[in-house]
Amino acid sequence: MQLSTEVGDIVGQAESLAGLALSLLFMSRFAEAHDTVEKAITLRQPFFEADHLHVLARILIAREEFKKAEEIFSLSRSLREDSGDKLGLWCDFNLLALVAVRRGETRVAERIMKEELCLPPTALQEAHLLTLNAIILIRHGDLKQALPLLTKADNIYSQVKSILDQAICSQYVGIIHLRDANFQLAMEHFTEALRLHTQIGNIQGQADDMNRMCQTLLVQGHPQEAEAQISKTLALHIQIEDLSGQGDDLYILATIYLAQNRLVEAEQTIRQALEIHKRTESNYGQARDLARLSEIVWRMRIGGGCELEDSVDALSILRQAIDLFKNVSALAEAHEYDKLERLMTGGDPDMVVPMSLSCM
């Protein structure tokens, strides 16, 4: 950057700024990354560089500003089509499919994979496609098919020394083991993901790993230890201004309170989580929050003595959650909460939905 500035090389300055923005993104310094890539884009105006737009879109995805990211990708794809940049197009479509999964639009993601990602141009792109397929399978509840895909992807990431992608693989393998109630294996993979994310300074990844470790502790019957850990996790998500991550942490905290029968605190906390997930348009997050809220309300009403601010009905809240789960193709969760609906109508006050299902 310094050398390009000294010789007046605008293109070189812009390239250096875009590279710096990508490094800042990997370190979860999202505001700085956004400002830096905007400077790179401004330097090149009235021309646009597709790779710079790609970096901007990745930053927007990390901040869960999905609509803006899709708009940027539309411009980037147009530029790449004009220049015949097939690898760049593949990378843009790969991230578009990931956005679709994050928004709960798995059918859209599957269409993109079938029409645009059918021929990965490099080994790394093949691994990315394997990972994306695995994430969709996990969302559908098909864990047995997802695991070998992640194993194959991780082998490729290891060969090309992509540490961030290895961390992501470990995280999702941990999710599979957590859902299968293999708690020791789940914790081992979350711990490995945390080590890798820490190695490259990726704070968002570290916080997400810690969130899932807290879930594992809670399912194993260690609510006090989980509560101590989740406060640290929430502090990290606040540090990097990751709103959706904060909502995920509050969801865990509310579940801890529920496990300890601290129902008023649980109800207040889950409503905070729900509000955040509404702001970030996280449909899956909202579904989890509503499902947990329904259980909290149900227990409060059965126990008596607790007045809620609003006149609410646990069963209607749960049905909203089930509909949302189905809309985002979270079939395992929808099935499990169908059981809770039947238990609610049967009046069993001791049923708690397994936390192992609520970790995406």
Query: Average pLDDT for residues 219-227, to the nearest whole number?
Result: 93
Report the distance separating Cα 208 and Cα 233, nearest Å.
Answer: 8
Q: Where are the beta strands (DSSP E) in the chain?
A: none
Which residues have C-beta within 8 Å of that of residue 67, sequence separation ≥ 6?
none
- Looking at per-residue pLDDT, the higher value among 183 and 107 belongs to 183
- Looking at per-residue pLDDT, the higher value among 342 and 181 belongs to 181
Structure tokens at 210: 């810690």
* In the predicted structure, residue 347 carries a pLDDT above the cut 90: no
Termini Cα distance of the chain = 40
Contact 48, 79 (CB under 8 A): yes
Burial of residue 261, with CB atoms counted within 10 A of its CB: 0-12 exposed, 13-18 middle, 19 or more buried? exposed
- Looking at per-residue pLDDT, the higher value among 203 and 313 belongs to 203
pLDDT given for residue 348 in this prediction:
52
Percent of residues, the chain, with pLDDT higher than 90? 73
Query: Average pLDDT for residues 180-189, to the nearest whole number?
Result: 96
Residue type, 179: R
- Looking at per-residue pLDDT, the higher value among 45 and 187 belongs to 187
Nearest to 20 by CA among 68, 59, 46, 49: 59
Q: Please report, for residues 17, 31, 33, 204, the alpha-carbon distance to residue 63 in angstroms, rounded to integers and kept in the order given.
A: 20, 9, 11, 10
Q: Which domains does the chain have, with CATH numbers?
A: 1-84 (1.25.40)
pLDDT given for residue 90 in this prediction:
94
Confidence class of residue 267 from pLDDT cuts 50, 70 and 90? very high
Q: What is the 3-state secondary structure (H, E, C) of 68-93?
A: HHHHHHHHHHHHHHHHCCHHHHHHHH
Question: If you search the block for the tokens 């008023």, which residue do you land on?
Answer: 264
pLDDT tens per residue, range 16-46 = 999 999 999 999 999 999 999 999 999 988 8
Q: Please report, for residues 95, 248, 319, 331, the alpha-carbon distance to residue 282 in angstroms, rounded to integers and kept in the order given.
A: 17, 10, 18, 17
Query: Average pLDDT for residues 246-257, to the nearest whole number?
Result: 96
pLDDT tens per residue, range 268-317 = 999 999 999 999 888 899 999 999 999 899 888 776 544 444 435 888 89
Contact 189, 174 (CB under 8 A): yes
pLDDT tens per residue, range 127-179 = 999 999 999 999 888 999 999 999 999 999 999 999 999 999 999 999 999 99
Percent of residues, the chain, with pLDDT higher than 70? 93
